[in-house]
Amino acid sequence: MKRFSVWLLVGALGCSDGDIGVTGPGVGGDDDDDDDITGGCTDSDDDGFGVGCEQGVDCDDTDPNLSSDCDLRAFGDPWNPEQADGLVIDENGALTLGEDTFEDDTVWIANANENTVSKLDAPTGRELARYPSAIAGGNGARPWTEACNFSSSGNCPSRTSIDFRRDCWVANRAFGNQGTVTKIASRIEDCVDRNANGVIDTSRDANDDGRIDVGEMVGDDECVLFTVNVGGPGGVPRALAVAPDTRFVSAGGNAWVGTNLERLAYEINGNDGAILRTVELPINPYGALAGKLLGLVWFVNAGWQAAPNNPPGIVAVEFANGTVHPRQEVQSTIGCTGTYGITIDGQGRVWTGGYPCEATFRYEGTADAGSWLSVDLGGQGATRGLVAADDDKVWVAHSHFGGGSVGNLSCVDAETGAVLDRLTLPTGKDAIGVDLDREGNIWTIARETNNAAKFNPNTGVFQEFPVGSGPYTYSDFTGHSLRLQFPQGVYSDVAEACGEAGATWKTAHWEGEVPEGAAVELRVRSAATREGLADATWYGPWLESPADLEAPPGPVPEGSFLEFELTLRSLDNATTPHITGFVVTYSCALQ
């Protein structure tokens, strides 16, 4: 097959319906064609060719012998705000992090008694899907239909945690058996057609009643990506968090899982579930959350748990290298000491639930030393899960009071510890977890009444929605806490080239500033038609510019359409990339 080359330059939306200028390989046709489209000439191999260079684009900027045998599509002059999620365009025309505007706003609830995970649409409360919390194959998981008895049967899921791609991780405690962790795809295009029947077999609300019935579940659900063993039999995986992948392999981040009875923490590859690291902890881990300051995953124990050398406390692990810091024991000033759930506020301070106390405790300092603040919440009940909001408030769930179960919420000022509000769910009892959706509504999981409550703090209105049996989730089940600590945004678009002849996609380049503490990731997929992109396989991430699309994690298959996602991320919640342009190069087949 012969190939021909022309240099094509289009604006941000020119890939399908914009004007296309044909000027010849690596040459400008007029003054406009010679514009610096990415803010400067990138010429890594010093051959005079490169993105933004006067002589033209370079098909391989590592090889001075290969310069201009390719075509080009350019984005960012200007950027199209309709293609940006969680990004804004600054005064210099660069993409940078802004308000999170991802379309998917979901709530993921582990139903412990029935070994499932419910996915709710946050704006409406409708149940979109219900998945088995574990699938068979290469693991020691119990059958998903086996009920949890909290001693010897069932997978008994509890914590869920949402990653940067909005996928859901769930930890299966499997008391007396092999504990596991499972990853569930949030988007249908990321699901896997394992039985090769041409469709994704997955749970859907087929009768559109807002609730998933038994017949609407799929045992081998193809949106359940994998289930892997964590720890040994009887290890009881409980603590679960997602942290950035400092190796920049998994775009969604990696999971950190703590096995409660082993006193171990495992880092798990977000792409395939492989165990990357195992570290010993000085506590029996019960909950976990990643924090922006110093790149730490914080683990908390349970104050009620009778275990040797396990006083109520927290411990930090550096997620880049696995360094374990000393245990920080709770210093209470209210006559009761306990721990349970965990959250981290916008200032990086760690908060814990106080079960069996009617209190919450705040730790402020480094991973090695700090001070504690006690917040007395007497009269509301023992505290379980809690979550820090964007507005310097902490919401706390209360489950038991005076020997009975309750469904109460407290709101605390994160700066002063003052109690701002006390609320009671309309019908919900045994309030376990609490989290926020994208609109700032407060979600509470009520185990005894098998429902979830949504509270709008602006209107004071509660709504309640049914879920599965025994919902027991008090972790980052909406992804709010991860986004609070590690903001990110995505720019996505489609490049079209070569018509029916098809294109060989060669390189991708992004220009701008990516300071230390920030990161840019690229993933792409290609197809012969625009419609075919939905079923195409994603390749990536590429982490450096220029990216060679013909080398691992590629090669990217030929196709007339290339969809790309450019993810901008802050790793410290303070530093952000500023991207001024993006270019993909390709060559066309001559038919």
Lowest-confidence pick of 41-45, 246-250, 449-453, 522-526: 41-45
Secondary structure E strands in 414-475: 419-424, 431-436, 442-446, 451-456, 461-466
Q: What pLDDT, on a 0 to 100 scale, did the predictor assign at position 499? A: 87
Rounded Cα gap, residues 277 and 280, in angstroms: 10
**Whether pLDDT at 6 is above 80:** no
Which tokens is 12 given?
């941000």
**Whether pLDDT at 406 is above 70:** yes
Does residue 453 sit in helix, strand or coil?
Answer: strand
Beta bridge partners of 182: 170, 227
Q: What pLDDT, on a 0 to 100 scale, did the predictor assign at position 52? A: 62
Residue indicated by tokens 């013909």? 550
Architecture of domain 2-99+487-590: Sandwich (2.60)
Mean pLDDT for 210-234 is: 97
Provide the pLDDT confidence category of residue 183 given band limits of 50, 70 and 90: very high
The 8-class DSSP code of residue 534 comes to G
The continuous run of DSSP H or E covering 296 comes out as: strand 296-300
Q: What pLDDT, on a 0 to 100 scale, did the predictor assign at position 51? A: 59
Lowest-confidence pick of 72-76, 117-121, 126-130, 264-268: 72-76
**Identity of the residue numbered 534:** A
Secondary structure E strands in 76-220: 84-85, 87-89, 95-97, 106-111, 116-121, 127-132, 157-162, 168-172, 178-184
pLDDT tens-digit map of 32-52: 333 333 346 666 667 676 656
Tell me whether strands 561-570 and 488-496 are parallel, antiparallel or unpaired: antiparallel
Which tokens is 194 given?
């394992």
pLDDT tens-digit map of 470-502: 999 989 999 999 989 988 888 999 999 988 888
Q: What pLDDT, on a 0 to 100 scale, did the predictor assign at position 20? A: 24
Mean pLDDT for 164-189 is: 96
From the list 503, 555, 554, the residue with the least C-alpha distance to 529 is 503
Q: What pLDDT, on a 0 to 100 scale, did the predictor assign at position 588? A: 86
Q: What pLDDT, on a 0 to 100 scale, did the predictor assign at position 17? A: 29
> Does residue 436 contact residue 106 with C-beta atoms inside 8 Å?
no
Which tokens is 56 given?
């033209």
Q: What pLDDT, on a 0 to 100 scale, did the predictor assign at position 501? A: 82
Provide the pLDDT confidence category of residue 522 given band limits of 50, 70 and 90: very high
Q: What pLDDT, on a 0 to 100 scale, did the predictor assign at position 496? A: 93
**Whether pLDDT at 75 is above 70:** yes
- The contacts of residue 374 (CB under 8 Å, 6+ apart) are 331, 332, 333, 334, 359, 361, 417
**Whether pLDDT at 9 is above 50:** no
Mean pLDDT for 2-10 is: 31
**Sign of the Cα pseudo-torsion (32, 38, 40, 42, in order):** negative
- Superfamily of 106-485 according to CATH: YVTN repeat-like/Quinoprotein amine dehydrogenase (2.130.10.10)
Q: What is the pTM of this model?
A: 0.80
For residue 25, count other CB atoms closer than 10 A to its CB: 17
pLDDT tens-digit map of 229-244: 999 999 999 999 999 8
From the list 332, 341, 340, the residue with the least C-alpha distance to 304 is 340
**Sign of the Cα pseudo-torsion (270, 271, 273, 278, in order):** negative
Number of H helices, E strands in the chain: 1, 41
First to last CA, the chain: 8
Mean pLDDT for 355-362 is: 97
For residue 92, count other CB atoms closer than 10 A to its CB: 10
From the list 410, 523, 505, the residue with the least C-alpha distance to 457 is 410
From the list 548, 543, 539, 537, the residue with the least C-alpha distance to 508 is 548
Greater confidence (316 vs 250) lies with 316
Q: Residues 260, 264, 265, CA angle at the centre, nearest 5°?
A: 100
**Sign of the Cα pseudo-torsion (301, 307, 309, 312, in order):** positive
Does residue 483 sit in helix, strand or coil?
Answer: helix
Backbone angles phi, psi at 440, to 5 degrees: 85, 10
Rounded Cα gap, residues 567 and 85, in angstroms: 9
> In the predicted model, what is the mean pLDDT of the chain?
88
Rounded Cα gap, residues 103 and 123, in angstroms: 11
Provide the pLDDT confidence category of residue 103 given band limits of 50, 70 and 90: low
Does residue 519 sit in helix, strand or coil?
Answer: strand
> Does residue 344 contact residue 287 with C-beta atoms inside 8 Å?
no
Q: Residues 322, 323, 328, CA angle at the centre, nearest 5°?
A: 120
**Whether pLDDT at 573 is above 70:** no
Cis peptide before 132 (omega within 30 of 0): no
Residue indicated by tokens 């006083």? 311
Chain centroid to CA 311: how far?
31
Q: What pLDDT, on a 0 to 100 scale, did the predictor assign at position 458? A: 95
For residue 19, count other CB atoms closer than 10 A to its CB: 8
Rounded Cα gap, residues 1 and 172, in angstroms: 52
- The contacts of residue 380 (CB under 8 Å, 6+ apart) are 358, 396, 398, 401, 406, 408, 410, 422
Beta bridge partners of 315: 299
Q: What pLDDT, on a 0 to 100 scale, did the predictor assign at position 31? A: 32
Q: What pLDDT, on a 0 to 100 scale, did the predictor assign at position 44? A: 67
% of the chain exceeding 90 in pLDDT? 72
Provide the pLDDT confidence category of residue 564 given band limits of 50, 70 and 90: very high
Does residue 82 sit in helix, strand or coil?
Answer: helix
**Whether pLDDT at 59 is above 70:** no
Q: What pLDDT, on a 0 to 100 scale, did the predictor assign at position 574? A: 73
Domain segments of the chain as ranges: 2-99+487-590, 106-485
**Whether pLDDT at 67 is above 80:** no
From the list 407, 303, 296, 314, the residue with the least C-alpha distance to 363 is 314
C-alpha dist (Å) from residue 490 to 86, 165, 552: 6, 10, 22
Provide the pLDDT confidence category of residue 327 given band limits of 50, 70 and 90: very high
